[in-house]
A and B are shown apart, each in its own frame.
Chain A
Amino acid sequence: MYKLLLCWRYLRTRYIALASIISVTLGVATMIVVNSVMEGFTHEMQDRIHGILSDVVFESHSLEGFHDPDAHMQRIREVAGEYIAGMTPTVVVPAMLAFQVQGQWMTRQISFIGVDEKTHSQVSDFSHFLQHPQNRQQLSFLLREGGYDTIDHQAGPEAKPRDRMEWAGWGYRRAHAEHQKQIERRAAADREEIERRRAELARAEQAERGETGDEQTPEAVAENKRPFNRFPAAEVEQGSTFDPAVEQSTGIVLGIALGSYRYRDGSDRFYVLPGDDVKITVPTAGSPPKAASETFTVVDFYESKMNEYDSNFVFVPMEKLQQMRGMIDPQTGIGNVTSIQIKLHNDADGKIVRDKLQAAFAPEMYGIQTWRDKQGPLLAAVQMETAILNLLLFMIIAVAGFGILAIFYMIVVEKTRDIGILKSLGAPSRGIMGIFLTYGLSLGIVGSGAGMIIGLLFVANINTIADGLAMVTGHEVFDPSIYYFQKIPTIVVPLTVAWIVAGAMMIAVVASILPARRAARLHPVEALRYE
């Protein structure tokens, strides 16, 4: 009983000891914050990655892909049919995207993904990431009249409005085509005028010299004087069947970061809109691959909020891509695909399916991965980061442990006489040791308890704090243009918190063992004499 009483009194009278555990408090608070943010970040990222990737991806190692996807899907169903909820074939190739911004051609490197528009939404959250409400219901590669989201439907009320998206659609395309025509008409008129003047000039010159019947016709002279005559001006498709005001090229869905720039405050500037035409160049199948270019019309944006994907993915109808790359067998009319996306039932374990499929298909031909495997390096990096941070922070708490040790030694020295008194009253050595161990434990409880409260409060208000910090320092703590999150995601895992708190308490107890042993070993007579 005296242990508890004395502990309580020491706790309330020795503030220096409380000072020694402030570092424990801070360490615990920081660990809780870091773990919560990391957990939130990982969770958010996994969620998104999983939304983008299907559960299991079955892919060919070669760019040519494999033949007859239906047969492959049949075989996959035979091997692991009980786990599978849906499958869709896709063709994925690296490609070049080019579009015109204010008269300049911009090029981007992309992953060009041919999807089966009917089944692709079944295997991932693909449709959820689109910007037109009807496309989210059922994707169509035909341009909509209008009605694209002006408010990010995934972000909630804090998102900055995207006013430009109001224009997007057929209306924009018609206006753009009209504008383009006007420019062309004006250019054509200018050209005619120049030709006319040049011809006049040539005639005047000829009249001056009085030369006639020369071997050079006036037309040829004019032709020779044109500086770029060897590169004739691009033919204007007059009278051709394609009219951009009423027709579209094959539709594509563009990753949103390819067609827009995000400012630091979270607002977007679009330089491509649904309705614009872009050029895409893909390598053809076969060896060596040749470049095949075609014009496509952007019909929607894809926004997964993972910058890596949003700035890389472009989706196109699969048949179009197969045809463009020459992947369709002319005899059978069946196209090659490069991968099959597999969606599993909710409770199925992706690893089991992967292992079964790996056993059934030749590994030198096919790569079979779960979505976790595919994002393994990224997730592993985050995990590694968390582990190292935890290690470092725990070191901080351990360092705090040495502080506790030193201060406990001091307290034991200060309390030498009291220890002698207790011994003279018959307190056993173990009891004396118990006092200081209990003291250490209670300091640990106080320190880590305070740390837990501070940490949890911090996590609960982390976005307010980040905003406040940004205001004070004038430096964005959390840059939404990098993370695509409007807010810092956090998840508090009770078990982690419990571990951190228990660890900190243990360190406090361990640090008090040595001083407690010293106290227990004091000789009562010498302790009583101690001045």
Chain B
Amino acid sequence: MNDIRILKVAEATVSSDHSRPHLAILPPSASDVATNQQLSATALHKSYHKGNVEIPVLRGVDLSVEQGEFLSIMGQSGSGKSTLLHLLGTLDAPDSGEVCFDGRRIDNLPVHQRDLLRNQSFGMIFQFYHLLPELSALENVLAPLLISHGVWSYFRERKQLTERARHLLDMVGLSHRLKHKPRELSGGEMQRTAIARALMAEPVVLLADEPTGNLDGGTGEEILRILRTLNDRQNLTIVMVTHDRAIAAQADRTVRLAQGQVEVVM
């Protein structure tokens, strides 16, 4: 049943903008927020192989994120926080354990459904922005929809889609940089473009991997302010990975990852 629903959502995103049904069954009401568990990890194990040596990174991580929550994950370099984020975002599969999204297990879904989830339900931003160098800022923002749209449906709805991308870039304060290629943008501008791109497909969850890690203090603040606003105004669930205590403090809740486990909940 769920599979069918996902596919329907995929179709729906083609034609609708703001009124499209979320993957979540119902739009969250204010009273639900505290108890609605949206994204959760249970007993996650993950290790990497370097030659013959197995390096365990996650050793039984339990985590749950609620709808509309701004969660930050702190930890030293190499503590596995990025790996955890990748597992939550279905970029990688755990060795054991479960990842659930909206009450559904997603870590063992077929590949194309995971692709669809990443395309429609998760937005991701990275420390190194990861914009496509051949595309302009506007095209980078459009990328998720370019992926989900075929040639014909894209051209049919080009106006609306472009309008939305402009709107998002305007929102992050980049309306004057639409035609610029990433290499012509500053770090802060690139990260703001990446945020606009993450929001383009109207995701339910935003996964941010050290979004300020490569930026100076002022610019980092700016990015954080945008994330905060998104969380406040649009009730967007945000999971942010950082190693900076001050930045982590901006979140609603912070968990600390050490020795592959959630150690302290602050």
Give the interface of A toward B (CB within 8 A): 1-2, 4-6, 9-10, 13, 417-418, 420-429, 431, 523-525, 528
Q: Say yes or no: B149 contacts A1, CB within 8 Å.
A: yes
Residues from chain A with Cβ under 8 Å of B89 in the complex: 424
Q: Say yes or no: A6 contacts B147, CB within 8 Å.
A: no
Residue from A9, A13, A426, A525 within 8 A of B117 (CB atoms): A426
Q: Say yes or no: A524 contacts B134, CB within 8 Å.
A: no
- Cα A418 to Cα B154 in complex, Å, equals 22
Distance between A314 CB and nearest chain B CB, rounded to angstroms: 72
Residues from chain B with Cβ under 8 Å of A523 in the complex: 92
| Interface flag for B239 (CB, 8 Å) | no
Of chain A, the residue at the smallest CB distance from B201 is A426
- Cα A1 to Cα B148 in complex, Å, equals 8
Known: A426-B118, A428-B112, A431-B147. A421 touches B86 (CB 8 A): no
Residues from chain B with Cβ under 8 Å of A429 in the complex: 111
- Cα A6 to Cα B135 in complex, Å, equals 8
Contact stretch, chosen from B124-132, B214-222, B227-235: B124-132
Q: Say yes or no: A421 contacts B132, CB within 8 Å.
A: yes
Q: Say yes or no: A425 contacts B147, CB within 8 Å.
A: yes
Residues from chain A with Cβ under 8 Å of B119 in the complex: 425-427
Distance between B91 CB and nearest chain A CB, rounded to angstroms: 5
Residues from chain B with Cβ under 8 Å of A420 in the complex: 130
Residues from chain B with Cβ under 8 Å of A424 in the complex: 89, 91, 118, 124, 126, 130
Known: A1-B151, A4-B151. A425 touches B111 (CB 8 A): no
Interface of B is mostly: helix
Q: Say yes or no: B115 contacts A5, CB within 8 Å.
A: no
Known: A1-B154, A5-B135, A525-B91. A426 touches B147 (CB 8 A): yes
- Cα A418 to Cα B132 in complex, Å, equals 6
Please list 10 pairs of residues, one from A and one from B, whose beta carbons are closer than 8 Å in the complex, sorted by A's number.
A5-B146, A9-B135, A417-B130, A422-B147, A424-B118, A425-B118, A425-B147, A426-B148, A429-B111, A528-B126
Distance between A529 CB and nearest chain B CB, rounded to angstroms: 9
Residues from chain A with Cβ under 8 Å of B135 in the complex: 5-6, 9
| Interface flag for B213 (CB, 8 Å) | no
Write the B139-152 contact mask toward A (1 if CB under 8 angstroms, else 0). Answer: 10001101111110
Point out which of A5, A424, A525 has the most chain B C-beta atoms below 10 A from its C-beta.
A424
Contacts A5-B135, A9-B135, A523-B92 supplied; 19 other A-B pairs, CB < 8 Å: A1-B146, A1-B154, A2-B147, A4-B151, A9-B134, A420-B130, A422-B143, A424-B89, A424-B118, A425-B119, A425-B147, A425-B197, A426-B116, A426-B148, A427-B115, A427-B147, A524-B92, A525-B83, A528-B130
Residues from chain B with Cβ under 8 Å of A425 in the complex: 118-119, 124, 143-144, 147, 197
| Interface flag for B78 (CB, 8 Å) | no
| Interface flag for B21 (CB, 8 Å) | no
- Cα A429 to Cα B120 in complex, Å, equals 16
Q: Say yes or no: B130 contacts A426, CB within 8 Å.
A: no
Distance between B124 CB and nearest chain A CB, rounded to angstroms: 5
| Interface flag for B133 (CB, 8 Å) | yes
- Cα A495 to Cα B147 in complex, Å, equals 38
Q: Say yes or no: B115 contacts A525, CB within 8 Å.
A: no
Distance between B193 CB and nearest chain A CB, rounded to angstroms: 12
- Cα A13 to Cα B124 in complex, Å, equals 27
- Cα A423 to Cα B118 in complex, Å, equals 8
Of chain B, the residue at the smallest CB distance from A420 is B130
Distance between B77 CB and nearest chain A CB, rounded to angstroms: 13
Q: Say yes or no: A421 contacts B130, CB within 8 Å.
A: yes
Of chain A, the residue at the smallest CB distance from B121 is A426
- Cα A344 to Cα B108 in complex, Å, equals 77
Distance between A164 CB and nearest chain B CB, rounded to angstroms: 72
Point out which of B89, B92, B146 has the most chain A C-beta atoms below 10 A from its C-beta.
B146
Distance between B79 CB and nearest chain A CB, rounded to angstroms: 16
Write the B90-109 contact mask toward A (1 if CB under 8 angstroms, else 0). Answer: 01100000000000000000
Q: Say yes or no: B120 contacts A426, CB within 8 Å.
A: yes
Residues from chain B with Cβ under 8 Å of A428 in the complex: 111-112, 115
- Cα A299 to Cα B60 in complex, Å, equals 110
- Cα A6 to Cα B83 in complex, Å, equals 29
Of chain A, the residue at the smallest CB distance from B122 is A426
Residues from chain A with Cβ under 8 Å of B151 in the complex: 1, 4
